[in-house]
């Protein structure tokens, strides 16, 4: 038996807007009203939208740095270990010559930084996600070309289906749709 969800089987309420300015204004008013669990969708990047949503996540740069440092330590350490564990003395060269270690160190730094950034982004965005409840809303398909959407999620502390729908109606959207949870096939 599955656990009941906080907002029932409602994923959230989706408001559709025709201009980016109206979406930004709606996001600002929703945040001012105390809503925090919301997402906005736009067919192209809207500069002020991230700030209006209060999006300040900076985990990916730290993951990239950690991956790069790990790659550098791994590359440098592997070469250092192999030179001392299996010494080959040729022409009086020293076993430890940091200049010759830099190429592999640089390559592994870049490799692990890029891989940690990509996989970190995929994990944090919960991708690949083959289905999302918004895909069931027919109007949401219009968001790919010329519509702007704001969804207030049902897991928000201030979410109440009727009051939230009334609040979204005050923002003068084109439409407000209820987005239901859908079960993913296993």
**Sequence-ordered strand ranges (E) for the chain:** 10-17, 38-41, 148-153, 175-180
Residue 41, classed as helix, strand or coil, is strand
* Cα–Cα distance, 138 to 152 (Å, whole number): 18
Q: Which of 26-35, 140-149, 154-163 has the lowest mean pLDDT?
A: 140-149
pLDDT digits (tens, 9 = 90+) for 111-146: 999 999 999 999 998 888 788 888 888 888 766 788
Q: Any bridge partners for residue 177, and if so which?
A: 14
Task: Give the containing element (helix H, strand E) for 81.
Answer: helix 59-85
Whether the per-residue pLDDT at 76 is higher than 50: the answer is yes
Q: Quick one: what percent of the chain has pLDDT higher than 70?
A: 92
Query: What pLDDT sits at residue 95?
Result: 83
Tokens of residue 77, six digits? 């350490």
Tell me how far the alpha carbon of residue 155 is from its chain's centroid: 18
pTM: 0.73
Q: Quick one: what percent of the chain has pLDDT higher than 90?
A: 67
């Amino acid at each position: 038996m599955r656990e009941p969800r906080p907002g029932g089987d409602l994923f959230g309420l989706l408001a559709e807007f025709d201009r980016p300015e109206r979406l930004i204004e709606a996001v600002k008013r929703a945040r001012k009203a105390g809503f925090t669990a919301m997402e906005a969708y736009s067919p192209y990047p809207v500069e002020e939208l991230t700030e209006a949503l209060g999006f300040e996540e900076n985990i990916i740069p730290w993951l990239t740095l950690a991956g790069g440092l790990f790659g550098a330590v791994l590359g440098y350490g592997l070469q250092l270990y192999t030179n001392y564990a299996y010494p080959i003395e040729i022409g009086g060269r020293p076993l430890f010559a940091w200049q010759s270690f830099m190429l592999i160190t640089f390559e592994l730094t870049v490799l692990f930084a890029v891989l940690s950034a990509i996989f970190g982004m995929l994990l944090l965005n919960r991708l690949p996600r083959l289905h999302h409840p918004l895909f069931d809303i027919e109007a949401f398909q219009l968001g790919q070309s010329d519509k702007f959407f704001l969804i207030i999620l049902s897991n928000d502390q201030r979410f109440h289906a009727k009051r939230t729908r009334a609040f979204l109606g005050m923002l003068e959207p084109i439409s407000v749709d209820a987005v239901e949870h859908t079960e993913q096939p296993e």
